[in-house]
Amino acid sequence: MMTWRQLRNYLKGKVVLVGLTFIDQEGKVIERYQTHGTIAKLTIDGFFKIIREDNSIFRIPYLKETIKKAKEGKYREVSTGETIENPDFIMTWKVKTSDHTDLEEIKRHGYMPVFDYDHANRNYQAGKDDEG
């Protein structure tokens, strides 16, 4: 098992394809969005800073359940038609939103979810948080 520092060093420079599925409050899909870039860093507080080809920065949290190693091959971004060859990782998120202006902001800058401390605290107290 890697330490946090080892993980941060390992992920730096890797290419990641990010897929976001925007859903409304009832769980219906509003839109699917993809982007990709190179991981510039994984911050100490747990956020990826991903540099895209246009040099814009996309931020998204590190959550082990959302990221997996990509199989070798060509991946096509649906929104742009661009082909990404052999990315290192694929990251997928479901983003619940009720505001369409949020969608554009997230696409431009990244996804910074609101952390539910009460939920996390209940899981911790119930002993469910020991899986890491």
Q: What percent of the chain has pLDDT over 90?
A: 67
Residue 57 has pLDDT above 70, yes or no: yes
Supply φ then ψ for residue 30, to 5 degrees: -90, -45
Using CA atoms, how far apart are residues 129 and 102, in angstroms rounded to an integer? Answer: 30
Question: Cβ of 34: how many Cβ atoms within 10 Å?
Answer: 20
pTM above 0.75, yes or no: yes
Tokens 């060859």 belong to: 85
* Local confidence band at 131 (pLDDT 50, 70, 90 cut-offs): very low
Q: Given the DSSP bridges, would you call strands 15-23 and 29-42 parallel, antiparallel or unpaired?
A: antiparallel
pLDDT in tens, 10-25: 999 999 999 999 998 8
* Structure-model confidence comparison of residues 65 and 124, the more confident one: 65
